[in-house]
């Protein structure tokens, strides 16, 4: 699906006010218009990520540009990924079965929201495990073995739920694993596009006195043609 300039700015304005998990759901709703809105929060995260990757392909193209700081030496590492490569590992029929003998389901956006206040990734993973595997797991005790089994089962059953990228640092040569937050990538691309549109509206409104709606309704090629004249 394509978005008009007005629709894109509307999504951006709504999402700007939201928590990242809810922003992910806003984008998921856009990416999966046939899925009832009330169900989105309870769909597996891999399904959400796949839908967001496909939306990125449609709206902003195939390439995800990103960077991270090396956890060992602090060097900035840039990377470019292809949405199609990430989609190739996705499996939208996520079913976890059992983890260490306990029935388990794949995590959803609702689970993500419930653990998002936890700063420590291991603690967040542990809470996810408790939510997804239900009763039978003590509230406070940590169990590394169970956590490892859960992560392995998740990787196997819903590989797009928790995407990571393995990098080797150019500066220090050490290996680093970077979490890939697809909702964040898509949101950044949408924000950049929204800022460009706002700049265009600002320049054209100032030059010609046209209203925002009028400017956004112009076909992009004509908007850019006027802009070129204003900036000439």
Name which of 72 and 229 has its Cβ closer to Zn ion: 72
Q: Which is nearer to Zn ion, 172 or 217 (CB)?
A: 172
Nearer to Zn ion, 68 or 90 (CB): 68
Q: What residues make contact with Zn ion under the rule CB under 5 A?
A: 70, 72-73, 75, 169, 171-172
Give the nearest distance from C-beta 63 to Zn ion in angstroms. 24
Residue 171 or 217 with smaller CB distance to Zn ion? 171
The pairs formed by 48-51 with CB atoms below 8 angstroms and a separation of 24 or more are 48/24, 48/109, 48/183, 49/86, 49/90, 49/160, 49/161, 49/163, 49/182, 49/183, 50/87, 50/90, 50/92, 50/160
Neighbours of 171 (CB within 10 A): 12
Gyration radius from the chain CA atoms: 21
Kindly state the smallest distance separating residue 67's Cβ from Zn ion, in Å. Answer: 13
CB of 66 to Zn ion, least distance (A): 16
The least CB distance from residue 151 to Zn ion, in Å, is 25
Calculate ∠ Cα 163-101-116, nearest 5°.
35
Tell me the closest approach of the beta carbon of residue 171 to Zn ion, in angstroms.
Answer: 5
Contacts of 227 by beta carbon, 8 Å cutoff, 6+ apart: 200, 203, 204
């Amino acid at each position: 699906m394509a978005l008009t300039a007005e629709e894109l700015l509307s999504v951006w304005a709504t999402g700007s006010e939201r928590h990242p998990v809810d922003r992910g759901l806003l984008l998921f709703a856009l990416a999966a218009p046939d899925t009832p809105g009330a169900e989105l929060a309870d769909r597996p995260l891999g399904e959400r990520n796949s839908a967001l990757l496909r939306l990125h392909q449609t709206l902003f193209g195939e390439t995800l540009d990103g960077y991270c700081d090396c956890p060992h030496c602090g060097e900035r590492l840039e990377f470019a990924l292809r949405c199609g490569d990430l989609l190739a590992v996705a499996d939208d029929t996520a079913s976890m079965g059992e983890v260490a003998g306990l029935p388990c389901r794949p995590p959803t956006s609702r689970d993500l929201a419930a653990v998002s206040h936890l700063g420590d990734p291991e603690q967040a993973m542990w809470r996810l495990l408790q939510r997804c595997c239900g009763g039978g797991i003590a509230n406070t005790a940590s169990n590394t073995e169970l956590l490892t089994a859960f992560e392995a089962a998740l990787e196997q059953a819903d590989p797009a739920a928790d995407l990571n990228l393995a990098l080797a640092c150019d500066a220090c040569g050490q290996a680093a694993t970077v979490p890939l937050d697809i909702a964040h990538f898509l949101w950044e691309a949408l924000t950049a596009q929204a800022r460009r549109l706002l700049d265009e509206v600002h320049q054209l409104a100032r030059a010609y006195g046209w209203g925002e709606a009028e400017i956004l309704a112009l076909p992009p090629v004509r908007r850019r043609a006027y802009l070129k004249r204003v900036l000439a």
